[in-house]
Amino acid sequence: MLISWWHVYLATQSIYRQVLDMATVLHKLIVPVSIGPPEPPRNKVSVVGVGQVGMACAVSILLRELTDELALVDVMEDKLKGEMMDLQHGSLFIKTPKIVSGKDYSVTSNSRVVVVTAGVRQQEGETRLDLVQRNVNIFKHIIPQIVRYSPNCILIVVSNPVDILTYVTWKLSGLPKHRVIGSGTNLDSARFRYLMAERLGIHPSSFNGWILGEHGDSSVPVWSGANVAGVNLQKLNPDIGKDKDKENWKETHKMVVDSAYEVIKLKGYTNWAIGLSVADLTESLMKNMNRVHPVSTMVKGMYGVSEEVFMSLPCVLDSNGVGSVVNMTLTQDEVSHLKTSADTLWNIQRDLKHL
């Protein structure tokens, strides 16, 4: 009895102090005007996986000022919290006022774009196709939760093997195909344009060239389309891309295929280039730009492909996702190349369990 009266006394003291005492600095300094709950985010991006690739995507997106809220998700809680804090400490220098993170997917709710980088990474010498079942099992846990909290989002899949995992994501998500995109050959094309432009002494953005199909070893460089200022390189050198080409331009495409392996060998992983390329895609989606990017999309019915596989084609990206696909004029060789990739991918996909 005495104890509870003591508590009442303390409570009264505290209220008295608060009422009579100075209002807090916050209350003295800032007078609220708008009432009601705060506005939901308009341009929220979530990044799943805070490894090197995920963080490179996050930082590129932040520095390009594409989002008003960024959410990070991972299973490693300390690492996740540390990365979130480190970004928050840079708040003064960026225009994204809210950065959140959590193991629980509720932090991702209301995202417009979700970038999936989760999964295990390619080991030195391991091909992308060897990673498959390991990453499928992780995605079975991730994808349904993402869609539950952001049913209207666009999913960008980065984890490798990207074309297969984009198919897996599409199946697990139940989303229409235009809202599930694989980063695909966006990076291969960027590397190709960089390497080709270097040989010509110009900026990569002034060199037009596309790499399509499967991201990785059997990607298809469309030599017939390679041009600078509309000048078609194949017209200048009809042997371009072939073995008998004295200038050996084909080597450049080989370097693109090898470059991921080489960077992994040198520094253990790649992250900056993929991060920048994902920010580039995110910009087109967020700003409804209708820019054309080579990304992985569902290609059944095109170029004689009869299975449900995802491969990279030039896609027009807008705020719905893949608005349309540009019809490439491809040579017979290039078409059969695509068809072979499709068959390879389907061979693996049809044996995947629990989709």
The residues carrying an active-site annotation are 215
> Which of 223, 249, 303, 310 touches other proteins (CB under 8 A)?
249
Residue range at the interface with other proteins (CB under 8 A); choices 106-114, 165-173, 262-270, 324-332: 262-270
Nearer to other proteins, 150 or 159 (CB): 159
Contacts of 63 (CB under 8 A, 6+ apart): 94, 279
Tokens 């994204």 locate to 96
Q: Which of 12, 13, 97, 130 is in the footprint of other proteins by CB under 8 A?
A: 97
Tokens of 181: 């995109």
Is 161 one of the binding residues for other proteins (CB under 8 A)?
no
> Which residue, 21 or 243, is less far from other proteins as judged by CB?
21
The C-alpha atoms of residue 243 and residue 254 are separated, in whole angstroms, by 12
Count interface residues toward other proteins (CB under 8 A). Answer: 69
DSSP 8-state secondary structure symbol assigned to residue 19? H
Distance of alpha carbon 196 from alpha carbon 210, whole angstroms: 11
Following DSSP, what letter does each residue of 197-243 receive, concatenated?
HHHHTS-GGGEE--EEESSSTTEEE-GGG-EETTEEHHHH-TTTTST
Is the separation of the CB atoms in 256 and 262 below 8 Å?
Answer: no
Separation CA 212–CA 347 (nearest Å): 20
Does 15 participate in binding other proteins (rule CB under 8 A)? Answer: no
Select 107 or 263, whichever has its Cβ closest to other proteins.
263
Among 79, 140, 177, 250, which residue interacts with other proteins (rule: CB under 8 A)?
79
How far is it, in rounded angstroms, from Cα 4 to Cα 11? 10
Interaction of residue 354 with other proteins, rule CB under 8 A: no
Q: Which of 148, 199, 254, 300 binds other proteins (CB under 8 A)?
A: 199
Q: Which has the closest alpha carbon to 310: 210, 174, 214?
A: 214
The residue among 202 and 352 lying less far from other proteins, judged by its C-beta, is 202
44-48/113-116 β-pairing:
parallel
Q: Is 233 in the site for other proteins (CB under 8 A)?
A: yes
- Contact footprint for other proteins (CB under 8 A): 21-22, 24-26, 28-30, 55-56, 59-60, 63-64, 78-79, 81-83, 85-94, 97, 187, 190-191, 193-194, 197, 199-205, 228, 231, 233, 236-237, 240, 246-247, 249, 259, 262-268, 270-273, 275-277, 279-280
